[in-house]
Structure 1
Amino acid sequence: MSASLPSPSPPTVVPSTAAQTVGFLRQLGAEQIGHPGGTLLAHLCRVYRLLAAWDARPALRLAGLCHAAYGTDGFPTALLTLDRRAELARVIGSEAEEIVHVYAAMDRKATYPGLATPNAPFHDRFIGGARAMTRGHREDLAELTAANELDLARINPVFREQWGPDLLALFTRFRPLLSAQAWEETETLLGRRDGRGH
């Protein structure tokens, strides 16, 4: 196993407002990229609003707004190449950018099963290796994953019907890492599929 992921570093700049970040995403073409439920930009904005509704800290909200900047394991289209990380950090702050990078690097199939297990490795698809993760990173990844997937489940009934049971099982495993608000949203959206609850 390679070196651990560094602990989140304090922002080196004052992060921009969400509105300025949205302007930056528009410049990168996020409004022209199709995504389930509309455009990529619309999805990113909904994820930001969901995290805000869950009282996520500002860095995590901004990370949610930019979570697909480098592409992800589930959405390969990237707005920025990895050699432009400093550019994104100047816009949203280094802490938020680090969350975006870790989220983008995550090999989901390999990482998700152990995400809520202390000392389980994080599998990095960019470098093809595994490393340790802090509890804080695990919580950020779980919360961001929930916001991302629950937005799609809320906006797209076909997606919810197809993936709802799998997402409920996944977030049930993540529950120790999720905020109370994220878990409540999970139960509301996915946990009462037959009208009687589980």
Structure 2
Amino acid sequence: MTDAVLAWLRDRGAESVPHAGGSLYEHLGRVADRLAGHGGSPACCLAALTHAAYGTDGFPVVLLDVAERQVLRELIGAEAEEMVYRYGGCDRGRTWRALPATGLIWSRFTGHSESPTPAGVRAFADLSIVNELDVYERSPEIAAKAGDYFRSVFPTWAPVASPEVMADARRVFGLR
């Protein structure tokens, strides 16, 4: 399945989209590999590999319109596609700081919030952190601009993120 996903990303032009550390294609692969290294489930890793398909609150490039969710669902499965939709649709300003207290993820697509299961919140938190770790490590500009914000938000996510991902975040961001 991964070969088909990689081919789909290439067909969608991900190799030619600039991103921190090279191309979007390279970034997606690194995030999926890093999440797998932290014990991410197969569905989480497929979601990581396609996490920017619908664009994100921080990255406006769209590889697939949300009206065509079925295309991605057929490629990676319903569970992984739901993670991609949640991640891509997240309104970070309304969600990130409040996440550990509320468990709510606000959608920039719909304007509504959802309350995923604890496993769904963990998958969202792990993907969000691992994504930002990759960007932070590869872009001095983003590290300078967003590093303090990441260091203030992500430690509060310890109750909802996996211990492996939190340990990586502590190491990269120099947290205790």
Q: What's the TM-score once normalised by structure 1's chain length?
A: 0.84
Aligned amino acid, residue 135 of structure 2: L
- 2:86 is aligned, of 83, 102, 109, to 102
- Alignment check: 8 A CA contact 2:53 2:64 kept: yes
- 2:60 is aligned, of 76, 81, 87, to 76
1:134 aligns with 117
Give the number of aligned pairs.
176
Secondary structure class of the residue paired with 2:82: helix
- 2:137 is aligned, of 145, 154, 162, to 154
TM-align CA RMSD: 1.4
Structure 1: runs of 5+ lacking an equivalent: 1-15, 193-197
- Provide the identity percentage: 35
Q: Distance in 1 between matches of 2:29 and 2:103?
A: 31
2:105 aligns with 122
Which has the greater radius of gyration?
A: 1
Q: Distance in 1 between matches of 2:138 and 2:83?
A: 24
Q: Distance in 1 between matches of 2:3 and 2:140?
A: 29
Asked if residue 188 in structure 1 is aligned to residue 171 in structure 2, the reply is yes
Q: What's the TM-score once normalised by structure 2's chain length?
A: 0.94
Secondary structure class of the residue paired with 1:69: coil
2:12 aligns with 28
Larger helix fraction of residues: 2
Structure 2: runs of 5+ lacking an equivalent: none
- 2:31 is aligned, of 25, 47, 50, to 47
Give the direction of change, closer, same or farther, for the CA distance of 1:180–1:130 in structure 2 (3 Å limit): closer
- Alignment check: 8 A CA contact 2:103 2:121 kept: no
2:127 aligns with 144
Aligned amino acid, residue 22 of structure 2: G
Tell which has more relative contact order, 1 or 2 (C-alpha 8 A, sep 6+). 1
Q: Deviations over 1:149-181 (max 9, x none)?
A: 001112223322332221121110111112122
Once the two structures are superposed, the pairs formed by residues 1-16 of structure 1 within 5 Å of their partners are 16=1
